[in-house]
A = this chain, B = another copy of it.
Amino acid sequence: MPPFSGRTIHFGAFNVTSQVFHTSPHSFALVNLKPLLPGHILVSSLRVKPFLSDLSHEELSDLFLTVTRVQKTLKRLYKADAFNIAVQDGEAAGQSVKHVHCHVIPRSKGDAGGEDKVHEWLEGEEGDVGKHQSEVEGSERKVGEWAKDEERKSRTMEVMEKEVVWLKEEMEKDAQGETESNTGKL
């Protein structure tokens, strides 16, 4: 079962409700079908709008606040030293789904993404999230229903579902900590 069963969340034309592990007033965070590196996730606006400049100040602010909240949890879980944060803001910049989304990619020294690899993947077929969504999402697929056409894809969905539940729980722990410390900082 997706963790936000009462709500349908769209990423462009795709129903990604099952991939969402966090929501905020104006944004949501979803796991990737094919992460470039472990912990590679996307943060997107709840409103389906193509460009950063289409968002209100409040939505924009909420989007990047959500990015930093997710970073906090990913940093802890993946022992990340750093992050690549990237928005392909329009098709000519490599955007494959016409909906504002920010790539959040945990990095550590000496990881497989070094020497340009992360960025190479991001712009290449490996980072084409639209293509990946198309592969698993038929037009008749319903919320929470997995694509059944290939064993590989089903397995990915199973792994992904576990990741969603795990990240959701871990995000909640950090949110709790944030409320308790109440420092006004991230």
Residues of B within 8 Å of A53, CB to CB, are 68, 71-72, 75, 186
Which residues of chain A in 70-123 are interfacial with respect to chain B, using CB atoms and an 8 Å cutoff?
71-72, 75, 80-95, 105, 107-109, 111, 115-116, 118-120, 122-123
- Which residue from B57, B64, B88, B184 sits with its C-beta under 8 Å from A84? B88
Chain A: how many interface residues by the 8 Å CB criterion?
Answer: 47
Given A57-B184, A64-B61, A71-B53, CB of A87 within 8 Å of CB of B89:
no
Across the interface, do A92 and B64 meet the contact criterion of CB distance under 8 Å?
no
0 or 1 for each of A47-81: is its CB under 8 Å from B? (1 = yes): 00000110111001101110110011001000011
Q: How far is the CA of A105 from the CA of B90 in the complex (A)?
A: 12
- Which residue from B85, B92, B107, B120 sits with its C-beta under 8 Å from A109? B92
Decide yes or no whether A6 CB sits under 8 A from chain B.
no
Across the interface, do B86 and A92 meet the contact criterion of CB distance under 8 Å?
no
Decide yes or no whether A185 CB sits under 8 A from chain B.
yes
Decide yes or no whether A124 CB sits under 8 A from chain B.
yes
Residues of B within 8 Å of A122, CB to CB, are 119
Residues of B within 8 Å of A83, CB to CB, are 52, 87, 89-90, 93
19 sampled A-B residue pairs with Cβ under 8 A: A52-B67, A52-B186, A53-B68, A53-B72, A53-B75, A53-B186, A55-B68, A60-B61, A60-B186, A71-B89, A82-B95, A85-B86, A91-B109, A92-B108, A92-B111, A93-B118, A115-B123, A119-B119, A119-B120
Q: Contact residues of A with B, CB < 8 Å? A: 52-53, 55-57, 60-61, 63-65, 67-68, 71-72, 75, 80-95, 105, 107-109, 111, 115-116, 118-120, 122-124, 184-186
